[in-house]
């Protein structure tokens, strides 16, 4: 347990009464997820992060709380709103980005791919199990040489009689080593298509990527697909071209917009609490003008970022959210959250480089979050394209 855990901290991050914009059910959900994180995540996360362990024992609890595929309806899925999903993501990432990432990979990527693009048989087979946490999914899009440009993927699926045979390599694939089913995107003679590949299939190998400096309480893998043979029924029938995976990625990006504000808030509160207790030159750090300026700037960006996330969530629930708006949220909130975490670490001085405090852990995690699901550069160009009408990707 860190020095600040177990001690109630006044809610000083909401300076403009954002809570008044939330419904009773949204506030109730937030309280439930926050209590779970405070009781079952924060007391253990430093140890999990240090040991580079993803705590699989929390998966049943996440399912019990209705956090797996929570924005999806039917097939055993919780059917909650986009705003409720965002609130849950924020509270989970206040615990750790890696744990929010699990919910994102399972629900926003793997489950969304099946829910939106799968056949009725595929939905019936996998979605209830994934929602219950009795099966784990992963999403294989990124490759060693195809990250921001997935259209250049070299993984290829060829038709062989009634089967498909897949060959290729995927990298930075969350949960692959513990997954039961993998959504694999591959080039075919008919363009990019998605396939459901049981991870026990001959030729499928998932290897955990070791020695990470970020997202240590999370699992990322490299997948090798060597003559992986699957039946024709394994293809996702409604996904053709890059639109299929991009629709799933936008679901994940939306959750990130909220989630990183949780990491920012936790970093801010750690710095605030520390600055009130740490005495320098005869008075608390919090009594110095420079310290107060830093705290004010953090709180301002948390309030603005949370309002942005909430506005995008309301648009999403109304069915009007646009891709460039998701890019605005992802670019802004990741950029501000990582700066808040870094500034909070600096306020902790030398103590801030230990796992007794959360800001540097959050900052390290946010290096990954800022990179995956679209880098700053990619989202800048998406927004620039919307503003100017001129694509500048090439």
Active site residues: 373
Query: DSSP of 344-390, one letter per residue?
Result: HHHHTGGGGGSTTSSHHHHHHHHHHHHHTTS-HHHHHHHHHHHHHS-
Distance CA 337, CA 298 (A): 9
Tracing tokens 């692959």 back to the chain, one arrives at 176
Both tokens assigned to 253: 């990006």
Helix (H) or strand (E) holding 324, with range, is helix 323-347
Length of the chain: 394
Q: Vertex 354, ends 348 and 360: CA angle to 5°?
A: 65
Distance CA 343, CA 376 (A): 20
Report the phi/psi class of residue 69: left, alpha or beta, with left for phi > 0 and alpha for psi in -120 to 50.
left
Answer yes or no: are the C-beta atoms of 182 and 176 closer than 8 Å: yes
Answer yes or no: are the C-beta atoms of 365 and 97 closer than 8 Å: yes
Distance CA 357, CA 4 (A): 8
Q: What residues have CB less than 8 Å from 363, skipping those under 6 apart?
A: 267, 338, 341, 342, 345
């Amino acid at each position: 347990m860190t020095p600040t855990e177990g001690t109630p901290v006044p809610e000083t991050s909401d300076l403009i009464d954002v809570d008044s914009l939330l419904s009773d059910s949204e506030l109730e959900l937030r309280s439930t997820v926050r209590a779970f994180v405070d009781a079952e995540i924060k007391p253990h996360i430093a140890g999990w992060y240090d040991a580079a362990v993803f705590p699989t024992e929390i998966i049943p609890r996440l399912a019990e709380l209705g956090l797996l595929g929570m924005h999806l309806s039917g097939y055993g899925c919780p059917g909650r709103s986009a705003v409720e999903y965002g609130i849950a993501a924020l509270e989970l990432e206040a615990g750790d980005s890696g744990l929010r990432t699990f919910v994102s990979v399972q629900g926003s990527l793997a489950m969304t791919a099946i829910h939106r693009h799968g056949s009725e048989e595929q939905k019936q087979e996998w979605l209830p199990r994934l929602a219950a946490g009795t099966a784990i999914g992963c999403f294989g899009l990124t490759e060693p040489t195809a990250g921001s440009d997935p259209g250049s993927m070299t993984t290829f699926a060829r038709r062989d009689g009634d089967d498909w045979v897949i060959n290729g390599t995927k990298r930075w694939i969350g949960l692959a080593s513990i997954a039961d089913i993998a959504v694999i995107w591959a080039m075919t003679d008919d363009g990019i298509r998605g396939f459901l590949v049981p991870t026990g299939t001959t030729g499928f190998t998932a290897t955990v990527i070791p020695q990470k400096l970020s997202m240590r309480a999370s699992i990322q893998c490299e997948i090798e697909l060597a003559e992986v043979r699957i039946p024709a029924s394994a293809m996702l029938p409604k996904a053709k071209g890059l639109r299929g995976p991009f629709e799933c990625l936008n679901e994940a990006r939306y959750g990130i917009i909220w989630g990183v504000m949780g990491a920012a808030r936790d970093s801010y509160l750690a710095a605030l609490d520390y600055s009130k207790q740490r005495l320098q030159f005869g008075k608390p750090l919090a009594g110095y003008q420079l310290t107060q300026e830093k705290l004010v700037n953090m709180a301002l960006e948390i309030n603005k970022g949370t309002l942005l996330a909430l506005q995008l969530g309301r648009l999403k629930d109304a069915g009007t959210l646009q891709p460039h708006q998701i890019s605005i949220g992802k670019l802004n909130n990741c950029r501000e959250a990582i700066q808040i975490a870094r500034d909070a670490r600096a306020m902790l001085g030398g103590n801030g480089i230990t796992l007794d405090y959360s800001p540097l852990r959050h900052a390290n995690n946010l290096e990954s979050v800022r990179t995956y699901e679209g880098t700053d550069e990619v989202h800048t160009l998406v927004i620039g394209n919307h503003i100017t009408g001129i694509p500048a990707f090439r």
